Amino acid sequence: MGFLDRLFGKTTTEETVNMTKTAIVYYSMGGTNYQLAQWAAEAAKEAGSEVKVIKAPETAPQAAIDSNPVWRAHVEATKDVPVATPEDLAWADAIIFSVPTRFGNMPGQMKNFFDTTGGLWAQGKLANKAVSAMSSAQNPHGGQEATILSLYTTMYHWGAIVAAPGYTDAVAFAAGGNPYGTSVTVGQDGKMADDEAAIKAAVHHQAKRTVQVAEALKNLNA
Ligand SMILES: Cc1cc2nc3c(=O)[nH]c(=O)nc-3n(C[C@H](O)[C@H](O)[C@H](O)COP(=O)(O)O)c2cc1C
């Protein structure tokens, strides 16, 4: 490939085939986790990965969505985001999840999506993927950590490799220091109550690390 092609970001077919593939699967009612997913996508692309941002299938009735103007506006604003399918998970080498807490657990929408992955699991197609998760809650101790761990429980059953950020970079400390995955507190107004730049930096680090772990696992999956 020539210098100009590289300069303009063109990739050869061979490079595209070898690129690490990252699926960023989120659920959001008010937009916070969609934002975390967008930040993760930026960083995964910077890390040289092919990226899909996809949303967990909605299970709530339309009447419930319509009864909440914030929720309805978010659904409308993200109507073009593709809905996640089990095949997207099989496609990915790295998977990053982002969900709001629901009483310390993942939302039913994400759990429902996980419950459609039995066929892939039975074929071993979810094993050895690098995964990590992010979360949000309305209170500083409202269940962020427990929610991320609830996601990881399913990951262990898949045989995925949890690439939690731990304290592998100092950016974690400014973002609240959650070693399980980046998390944020959301005020009653729906806005992030933490330092957004610090959260963004922690999400970037987490996403890059998840992609790097997926790259390191390629031999295992060859
Ligand atoms: C059914 C339900 C349960 C929730 N449970 C909690 C909770 O236990 N603790 C908490 O701090 N926030 C709780 N929240 C608030 C959400 O976690 C918060 O609105 C969300 O993190 C915002 O993310 P989003 O903008 O991506 O939707 C709950 C919200 C709903 C709708």
Q: Which of 79, 22, 68, 33 is nearest to 212 (CA)?
A: 22
Ligand 1 midpoint to CA 102 (Å): 5
Domain boundaries, the chain: 19-221
Mutate to test the pocket of ligand 1, among 101, 111, 194 (most ligand atoms within 8 A of CB): 101
Q: Which of 209, 204, 196, 121 is nearest to 163 (CA)?
A: 209
For the segment 141-174, what is each residue's pLDDT rounded down to a tens digit? Answer: 999 999 999 999 999 999 999 999 999 999 999 9
Asked if residue 218 has pLDDT above 60, the reply is yes
Instruction: Decide the pairing of beta strands 183-185 and 130-137.
Output: parallel
Q: What is the CATH architecture of 19-221?
A: 3-Layer(aba) Sandwich (3.40)
Sign of CA dihedral 113, 126, 85, 35: positive
Report how far residue 20's alpha carbon sits from residue 51's, in angstroms, rounded to the nearest whole number: 9
Amino acid identity for residue 125 in this structure:
K
For the segment 79-132, what is each residue's pLDDT rounded down to a tens digit? Answer: 999 999 999 999 999 999 999 999 999 999 999 999 999 999 999 999 999 999
Ligand 1 midpoint to CA 213 (Å): 30
Ligand 1 midpoint to CA 92 (Å): 28
- Ligand 1 atom having least distance to the Cα of 139: 11
pTM recorded for the entire structure? 0.94
Report how far residue 86's alpha carbon sits from residue 92's, in angstroms, rounded to the nearest whole number: 10
Q: Which of 109, 60, 117 is nearest to 85 (CA)?
A: 117
Check residue 221 and give its pLDDT: 80
For the segment 15-63, what is each residue's pLDDT rounded down to a tens digit? Answer: 555 899 999 999 999 999 999 999 999 999 999 999 999 999 999 999 9
| Ligand 1 pocket by Cβ (under 6 Å) | 28-33, 100-104, 136-139, 142-143, 186
Check residue 15 and give its pLDDT: 57
